[in-house]
Structure 1
Amino acid sequence: MMYVSPIIVGVAYCLLMSLIKEPHRRRFNAIMLAGAGAAYLSGGGVGPWELPFTALMAYIAYRGLESWTFIGIGWLLHTAWDVVHLLKGRPILPFAHTSSMGCAICDPVIALWCFRGGPSLIELLRRWPGPGRSADHDHASVPS
């Protein structure tokens, strides 16, 4: 469950973000990325290296205001930073020893969603062909 829960959290994040309409969804995710970039700043345990990483993430988040690709890159950078903290630093949540590992599993899920353009998962689920429905079934069509 230690490996599955972070994946569920990543999917839940993408589902919740799907409630926000574009272009606000992309911009809000850029802000979230900037916040994630500063997550270890007040005690991550890798000393002054926290500062250039936070500055890099701020730049990537700024570029992400107009680009899902930059947001995805930022989440992958954060994944790498999580691994650094797992191996050499302190966990992202001081009370949860494996939290950096969980974050390193969760972040690529979010990155993949971002590389797909941050689509509304809710809309994708609505259009997903369920039992008894074909993929080309159109609810709005009226037989002639």
Structure 2
Amino acid sequence: MRRVVAQGTFDILHPGHLHYLSDAKSMGEELHVIIARSANVTHKEKPVLDDRQRRDMVAALDPVDEAHLGHTEDFFVPIRNIDPDVIVLGHDQHHDEETLAAMLDEEGIDCEVARASARDPEYDGELLSTGRIIDRVCERRC
């Protein structure tokens, strides 16, 4: 069985997240998703929803077999526990495939790294970004 890992923040789920996870699932038979801990999110604004709520929402999605919270100190702990065949990055995630592959190799973790495809909006105004959803909420409700 080919085991796949996807990872991300998954704050305020939207169609772009579902596309990413569906694309990742198509690369294997079993999809595990690692949800970043709020404390570890440093490349963008902290999530609005707490860690467990984000994990529970992701776990409820059809493509997902298991959802896990990331480790607070060591990125590789859940990767070692899951033992994936492939890690699939989101099309716009800030991670670099070659750098991640080298880090996995240094850790003795044998798996490939792939990148999910992008999803274009299906209609004008469709929001595929948590930041854009928050901006729209603020425009309309604040």
Q: TM-score, length-normalised on structure 1? A: 0.28
Q: TM-score, length-normalised on structure 2? A: 0.29
Larger Rg: 1
Indicate the structure with greater strand content. 2
Indicate the structure with greater helix content. 1
